[in-house]
A and B are shown apart, each in its own frame.
Chain A
């Protein structure tokens, strides 16, 4: 039996909105530590990993492990009815056919209740090891989104080059080429605009911009984004949700002849 009540209901909506453009159906794995999700896109070159910790919910109760197989488009349709200040409650039985979703208006004069049919989804779980990345860039999420969308107009892939001077996003396309370079930047008054670059060795990797732009749909979740790079391993793009809950995207780099 699962019962999870989330006061910051918009988090759920934003998470689902961010994932739904990458994967179609996925399992929400619920256990006593929280609700987790891991899924790959159709081409299996990108992976999304979400963890909503039990602390994010109040209250949270999950007696045994439950996999909620959900079509994200359907879930989006239900979450469309969610209003800004609503409290959302997820309920499911131990072997559920459907997921019960309740929206309570904070003024408690309206309760909406939805039952979402679940499906059986066969998914492999990949073990993701903790990695020491060669370069970690923490920057405003809106900045990252802007760079990605701007460069997408020029080319379909971007080369991210991290050196001690800064991080350079460059691309070359049919109409020409372009590059955006960010340097370390500290602003004590507006901390969320800081750009932090931690580097152990220089890295240069190329990625599909379509995928990166897709990851940026998670931008409303957080005003900070962490980008981790290392040679020969997937790029990690992490958005912190609330507390230690996170939404992470992994993307395989483009190797070999570019374009």
Chain B
């Protein structure tokens, strides 16, 4: 045995050695990872050659963020798409050697071919440029902490842009692009959310909260005309509007009913059992017709009522049968109007939370109800009703759900096992230290015998 093990050990050792030598004499050498690995972008076709990636202030987070700006077609934001950590991926990037690359980016010389070879990147990140309304990028310029809307003065576009010059260094640069077309674009968008006045050849702007609200709302409306992206629709539209199933709700109403009849029955029971059943039946029937229930409910309730001496257990049994019979019908169904309103609200909140400075969001939220074309009334009534139903369902469940056991986590299980083991060990040790006489005495019937401490008092 020992010999085989020894020979094996030698074997692996020699193999290791071989592996080590082969590794050091590898045919290919892996170059050091690049400091500035290439990134993969998907850029819009319509973006012209003049488009550049610039740093501008992110409207929501107030941090310099990269945007693609094209003097002809406008602004684009980048969305980074990464592979999840659980499934790591990488890009293999090659250039086609056969076709000599055109120096296609205009004036700038392409330094690629020499240095740009074939790459394998570490992370499979993909940056997709999608159009963004430049309005959002100039929103930070509109925040003037000192001002209330009445005191705000009309100031020129340049003065507006001045406000974020520090944080957004590339803004001035791009304002000069394309013979001022970028500037015109920005001022036009500025006009959409501002009251304007023409002063000579210059246009003056004053921020209007109402206009901004209307603008964002119209964007939200466009976003919500079709269904939202699926995960969003699921989480923010379908789930919040979902009503608890009818079975639960019906259970609550029946408990109330039976409870009330039981109470009345108890009161009357003193008089006579005849009048008891007589008075019990109509109450139940009224309740049943009110809730518009099926025949099965009336059946079970009448059978309950006919039995004058009903016990608590039979009440529970009849309740359960009702619940099963009518389970899984939602108590409320949201109308298409309510759904579309919820969608609109979700879209509005989404835009606010991702593109609008937080200081403006509060203003927008407060201005929203005042908007003439956005009447969230039906949605609000639906939601409050839904809330009430949910609370009822929760109460009903907590009252009736005595079968649900607490789920133990691993720690508790381990603790319990440890305790059990200890107890067993203890018992075992005790058994060993126990004489036969002591064991036998345990079986003696000591009924009618008082404890010694009843006769003799404890010493201090």
Interchain CB contact under 8 A, A20 and B444: no
Interchain CB contact under 8 A, B451 and A25: no
Interchain CB contact under 8 A, A208 and B444: yes
| Known pairs A24-B435, A72-B435; A252 contacts B444 (CB<8 A) | no
Closest B residue to A40 by beta carbon equals B452
| Known pairs A40-B452, A233-B455, A250-B452; A20 contacts B437 (CB<8 A) | yes
Q: Is A187 an interface residue (CB 8 A)?
A: no
Interchain CB contact under 8 A, B448 and A126: no
Q: How large is the interface on B (under 10, 10 to 19, 20 to 34, 35 or more residues)?
A: 20 to 34
Interchain CB contact under 8 A, B452 and A234: yes
A77 to chain B, nearest CB (A): 10
Q: Of B441, B452, B453, B454, which is within 8 A of A214 by CB?
A: B441
Interchain CB contact under 8 A, A254 and B449: yes
Contacts of B430 in A (CB 8 A): 24
Q: Of B433, B438, B448, B457, which is within 8 A of A22 by CB?
A: B438
Closest B residue to A72 by beta carbon equals B435
Interchain CB contact under 8 A, A256 and B453: no
Q: Is B459 an interface residue (CB 8 A)?
A: yes
Interchain CB contact under 8 A, B441 and A127: no
Expressed in whole angstroms, the Cα–Cα distance for A128 and B456 within the complex equals 6
Q: Of B435, B445, B455, which is within 8 A of A252 by CB?
A: B455
Q: Is B98 an interface residue (CB 8 A)?
A: no
Interchain CB contact under 8 A, B435 and A43: no
Expressed in whole angstroms, the Cα–Cα distance for A165 and B456 within the complex equals 31
Contacts of B434 in A (CB 8 A): 24, 73
Q: Is B104 an interface residue (CB 8 A)?
A: no
Expressed in whole angstroms, the Cα–Cα distance for A44 and B456 within the complex equals 11
Q: Is B458 an interface residue (CB 8 A)?
A: yes
Expressed in whole angstroms, the Cα–Cα distance for A20 and B437 within the complex equals 7
Residues facing B in A60-89 (CB within 8 A) are: 71-74, 76
Number of A-B pairs whose CB atoms are under 8 Å? 102
Binary contact track A199-219/B, C-beta < 8 Å → 1, others 0: 000000000101100100100
| Known pairs A74-B433, A255-B450; A156 contacts B445 (CB<8 A) | yes
Interchain CB contact under 8 A, A43 and B453: no
Interchain CB contact under 8 A, A255 and B448: yes
Expressed in whole angstroms, the Cα–Cα distance for A41 and B452 within the complex equals 10
Interchain CB contact under 8 A, A45 and B438: no
B455 to chain A, nearest CB (A): 5
Q: Is B440 an interface residue (CB 8 A)?
A: yes
Binary contact track A134-159/B, C-beta < 8 Å → 1, others 0: 00000000000000000000001000
Q: Of B441, B448, B449, which is within 8 A of A42 by CB?
A: B441
Q: Is A189 an interface residue (CB 8 A)?
A: no
Interchain CB contact under 8 A, A43 and B446: yes
Interchain CB contact under 8 A, B448 and A254: yes
Interchain CB contact under 8 A, B446 and A208: yes
Closest B residue to A207 by beta carbon equals B449
Q: Is A23 an interface residue (CB 8 A)?
A: yes
B18 to chain A, nearest CB (A): 61
Contacts of B440 in A (CB 8 A): 21, 210
Interchain CB contact under 8 A, B456 and A47: yes
Expressed in whole angstroms, the Cα–Cα distance for A23 and B442 within the complex equals 11
Q: Is A46 an interface residue (CB 8 A)?
A: yes
Q: Of A23, A25, A45, A217, which is within 8 A of B452 by CB?
A: A45
| Known pairs A44-B451, A128-B456, A254-B448; A214 contacts B433 (CB<8 A) | no
Q: Is A257 an interface residue (CB 8 A)?
A: yes
Contacts of A254 in B (CB 8 A): 447-449
Contacts of A253 in B (CB 8 A): 449
A-B contacts besides A20-B437, A43-B446, A73-B434, 13 pairs, CB < 8 Å: A21-B436, A45-B451, A46-B452, A124-B453, A126-B452, A126-B459, A127-B456, A127-B458, A128-B456, A208-B444, A214-B441, A217-B437, A234-B455
Interface CB pairs A-B, < 8 A, 14: A20-B437, A21-B435, A24-B434, A43-B441, A43-B444, A44-B452, A71-B433, A72-B435, A126-B459, A127-B456, A127-B457, A156-B445, A233-B455, A250-B455
Across the A-B interface, the 10 shortest Cβ-Cβ residue pairs = A21-B437, A126-B456, A45-B449, A125-B459, A252-B449, A254-B448, A71-B433, A210-B444, A44-B451, A127-B459
